[in-house]
Structure 1
């Protein structure tokens, strides 16, 4: 793991001393090399055992794909933010890239740690760089309000988890993930144990986010810069699913007894947020609410906690991370030219940006889980697991699938195929933008060809 952590930490002195002319080029090249290093963790089919271990850190089947996704998105964040930072002073450019680097360091530690207390510390540490990105480089004055929502929801939701972890440590004197399956907490169905289970899950359900606890997400997405939206949708929402999967083995009796209302709320929230998407006028707001809808499916799958549902949740998290990041990048390319995100104004762009229409079509089809995309594979596994759990869940999931296809095509048709609004002619798309979108789609296409990289073996 030091082969990954040390190069990432050395990005910080590199950002301080490098010449401004080579700042973005060197940063993107360096981080792409780090991302390529992580691909060795997929060498040999993954199994259930930990690998690349030391005293505190280690990777397994659950953390490896999410770690690779985190490192892959950092160079793409820098690539997408070049236009946004073009007129900023060099000092602010360095501080922006430094905040993104610190966020990646926290994410690497979060996904690879085997100690639950360190996991909690790193889980909370991701809040600080993300908050800086939203409140400092957001585009409107509402960004401060969005940052407050983001901070308060995350902190209030995660404080009960800290109390539970300290209680567990006082009883067992160890917090290592390898030892946790051997812990016998004797969780009988009592009021205190139910409250302990809810305290453990609340931090992760807020992060997912569960419908009803999701109000911070659309605000944060709409006000965040493109890099903030990419890392929020791509990785930070997955911390919730990862945490539930990690803690569920020691909370299994209580999960089966207490998860029913949260699963129902997640499934109902999928329909509600999909309907909200059909009524939105802001492009980034639609993509943000679609993230809530997709992560509702992941929430239900992780709470059921069967082998098929966990596998489907993992595939869904990786596919959604790449697809939603791709959609935010496309929305940003429109915003950089039209300076608005209102759908009624940004329409008929096919005549002015014909190549971008192809990317919009591919992204929309991936978002609605068209065969043979990996999104469909994850959804089928989760829907099959939900059907085995309850036959009635098929009604909700089928309706959600229909609504997802509706608003995905609505986005595409509205932005690309309607009559052109009275917009002045603007610059054509850049090679940088096409490279950025290609680097999002390449992993999705490779996973279609070889999905067993995310399978249990």
Structure 2
């Protein structure tokens, strides 16, 4: 664990002390090196917990997410170069430092075996994200987006802290492996129900559950490209990961809790998919599609079967790669046309023919076409939900149909149609952009060859 965390922390002095000419090169190469070293975590192990120390450890649920978070740091640094082109050098240095500061907290959150350490690192990711959105966002509304993000997260995480402290007074420990071995600490009462609800609430906001999701489209639309990639690929996954971890600790009493959350998650998948069909803003459309996909993850996590956990795990990884790629593609369009409105940026295929191939690939993976892991994940979740209650197939089926509809709508409105008269010229796509897209697509297409690496199932 330390051989990843220490080099990640040492990235900070690298960014601060590198000469201006070599800063991007040094940080990108160094973080790519860390990302490639982190791949060894995926090697199969006989033990349920790998690299177990007093505070951190990895099992099948956290390993894929840890590798994903290491993989995304170099991608975020590479993606920001165009956005920060005309900024003064010191602001570039500050931007990269902010991205690097988030990374150890995310790694700690995914690998913590102790609930208080998990809570602290879970909350600590909020501050650098807030700085990214409010300092490097594009529009003046970024301040209100930051306030939304801050208050939604803080209001929901206070009950989480109280219930963690309450758990500690009852069981005497907060180590996950020991809590699993202890007897139920609460009688079947309203206290148990409230405690379970408080434990879940912070993660439901982070995931986000439909009804608690209003901060997400605002944050996505106002954030710079690295902020959008960070939110879509990693911070939403903290919510899904927290739900998985916490539901395993809950007593059977909390089964009553499943119904409102499952209903809201599935209904939300349907509603946000239909909201996507009438979006005019490209980034807002992709943000709402994230809520729809994470609704399936929440629904699967609440059932608590091995099959549904596997489906939720694969969907989290696949969605992280797919939505990040879609945000990056939206950003390449924005850098050329300076607009995110779909009507004003249509018909870009004749100008950027190679880019339209990436658009097609990204949209096909978003639609969960074979042979992508998205398909495998959605099938696993649908089967698990159908097994739990057969009427859910209507909701999940309708959500899948709507997903295909808005994805095709997004593809057609950006690539096809008549080029607007105000777009006379667009810079060609460059090697950095193509490399970044390849680094998103290649893991997606190769994981289908060995999906048990990310399925959360015992290897």
Normalising by the residue count of structure 2, what TM-score does the alignment of the two structures yield? 0.98
Pair 1:449 & 2:449 matched: yes
Pair 1:385 & 2:384 matched: yes
Mapping of residues 423-434 of structure 1, within 5 Å: 423-434=423-434
Query: 1:141 maps to what in 2?
Result: 140
Q: Which runs of 4+ in 1 moved over 6 A?
A: none
Mapping of residues 369-380 of structure 1, within 5 Å: 369-380=368-379
Name the SS of the counterpart of 2:177 in structure 1.
coil
In structure 2, what is the Cα distance between the partners aligned to 1:248 and 1:298? 13
Query: 2:315 maps to what in 1?
Result: 316
* Residues 130-187 of structure 1: CA deviation (Å, up to 9, x unaligned): 0010000000100000000001000100110100111111222211111111122344
Q: 1:211, 1:269 within 8 Å by CA — same for their partners in 2?
A: yes
Deviation at 1:81, TM superposition (A): 0.6
Q: 1:275, 1:403 within 8 Å by CA — same for their partners in 2?
A: yes
Query: 1:245 maps to what in 2?
Result: 244
Q: 1:49, 1:60 within 8 Å by CA — same for their partners in 2?
A: yes
Pair 1:327 & 2:312 matched: no
Deviation at 1:281, TM superposition (A): 0.2
Query: 1:437 maps to what in 2?
Result: 437
Q: 1:277, 1:286 within 8 Å by CA — same for their partners in 2?
A: yes
Query: 2:204 maps to what in 1?
Result: 205
Query: 1:82 maps to what in 2?
Result: 81
Mapping of residues 63-142 of structure 1, within 5 Å: 63-142=62-141
In structure 2, what is the Cα distance between the partners aligned to 1:254 and 1:406? 40
Q: Residues 186 and 177 from structure 1, CA distance in 2 versus in 1: closer, same or farther, beyond 3 angstroms? A: closer
Query: 1:196 maps to what in 2?
Result: 195
In structure 1, what is the Cα distance between the partners aligned to 2:183 and 2:256? 17
In structure 1, what is the Cα distance between the partners aligned to 2:50 and 2:420? 55
Name the SS of the counterpart of 1:391 in structure 2.
coil
Q: Which runs of 5+ in 2 are unaligned?
A: none
Q: Which moved more, 1:417-426 or 1:146-155?
A: 417-426
Q: 1:266, 1:300 within 8 Å by CA — same for their partners in 2?
A: yes
Q: 2:192, 2:254 within 8 Å by CA — same for their partners in 1?
A: no
In structure 2, what is the Cα distance between the partners aligned to 1:324 and 1:365? 12
Query: 2:14 maps to what in 1?
Result: 14
Deviation at 1:188, TM superposition (A): 4.1
Q: Which moved more, 1:390-399 or 1:87-96?
A: 87-96
In structure 2, what is the Cα distance between the partners aligned to 1:188 and 1:231? 40
- Number of corresponding residues: 456
Query: 2:49 maps to what in 1?
Result: 50
Query: 1:359 maps to what in 2?
Result: 358
Q: 1:47, 1:60 within 8 Å by CA — same for their partners in 2?
A: no
Deviation at 1:25, TM superposition (A): 1.0
Deviation at 1:383, TM superposition (A): 0.4
Deviation at 1:189, TM superposition (A): 3.7
Mapping of residues 197-276 of structure 1, within 5 Å: 197-276=196-275
Q: Residues 48 and 323 from structure 1, CA distance in 2 versus in 1: closer, same or farther, beyond 3 angstroms? A: farther
Q: CA RMSD in A?
A: 1.0
Name the SS of the counterpart of 1:50 in structure 2.
coil
Q: Residues 48 and 282 from structure 1, CA distance in 2 versus in 1: closer, same or farther, beyond 3 angstroms? A: farther
* Residues 310-333 of structure 1: CA deviation (Å, up to 9, x unaligned): 000000000000000000000000
Name the SS of the counterpart of 1:444 in structure 2.
helix
Deviation at 1:90, TM superposition (A): 1.2
